[in-house]
Amino acid sequence: MTDLLRVENLSKRFGGLLASNALNLQVAEGETHALIGPNGAGKSTLMNQLSGEILPSEGHIFFREQDITKLPVYKRTALGIARSYQLTTIFNGFSALENVMLAVQANQGHSFHFWSNARKEPQLRTPAAELLGRVGLLPRGDVVAGDLAHGEQRQLEIAMALASNPTLLLLDEPLAGMGVEDSVQIIQLLEALKKEHTILLIEHDMNAIFSLADRVSVLVYGSVIATGSVDEIRTNAEVQKAYLGTKREGQRFQHA
């Protein structure tokens, strides 16, 4: 498989804290790759470096063999990298459709100064409606985003991420805070998305990880200690030890 994303010896220091420690990672084009690890392992810090929100202290990030280590967020977006966050980042006062229209408008490089008129523009409404349809939210397009259920807000955020037509989706805990019904719906959405996008996924729901992922990498203390198929990770003694070191994480891993 060809690597779409490659991370080499990535380190990030926050004062005396080493959040990423000579981290190496390869994500193959077309795969769904999951990042798991105990709390505090450095997963979100890695995502922040991949998306360009923070710069590493050392090391390099390559996307399609281009060194993007120092590129800002908007340039990474233009190359085909999009991210959703652990906490939803939507405009609560706008409708679901308007949220996606804003994302479409931003990715078309237009100004927001004339938004009141832009709401009527078909070049924004049509692709926004299509994106809502892709995530199963089109019937809720006129609902104010702040009134959507939590699961629907996650669907909306994914629709907004898709507005940039990304090659790589960085998803940070898309199932966080969800009940069983919402989780099932998001898993079904991700199953559909993985057919068209490379996905790098952080998630604590082990059942979701093991049903979605083609490969899994395990982070402990800022370093990848193992990468492999779901079955290889399930039976890896070092991974089991890392998870069993904390009672809650160990229970998640054992019962997945």
Model confidence pLDDT, tens digit, residues 111-144 = 555 555 556 677 888 999 999 999 999 999 999 9
For the entire predicted model, the pTM comes to 0.88
Which residues lie below 8 Å from residue 167, measured CB to CB, with a gap of 6+? 4, 29, 80, 81, 197, 198
Mean pLDDT, residues 226-234: 93
Which one, of 49, 48, 53, 76, lies nearest residue 164 by Cα?
76
Is the model's pLDDT at 89 over the cut of 80?
no
Provide, rounded to the nearest whole percent, the portion of the chain with pLDDT above 70.
88
Question: What domains sit in the chain, N to C, each tagged with a CATH number?
Answer: 6-80+166-240 (3.40.50.300), 93-164 (no CATH)
Burial (CB count within 10 angstroms: exposed 0-12, middle 13-18, buried 19+), residue 214: middle
Neighbour-count burial for 136-151, b at 16+ CB within 10 Å, e otherwise: bbbebbebebeebeeb
Assign 253 a pLDDT band (cuts: 50, 70, 90).
low
Give Cβ neighbours of residue 9 (< 8 Å, ≥ 6 apart): 22, 23, 24, 58, 59, 60
Of 26-35, 120-129, 220-229, 242-251, give the lowest mean pLDDT range. 242-251
Cα 3 to chain centroid, rounded: 18
CA distance 79 to 207: 32
For the segment 214-224, the average pLDDT, to the nearest whole number, is 95
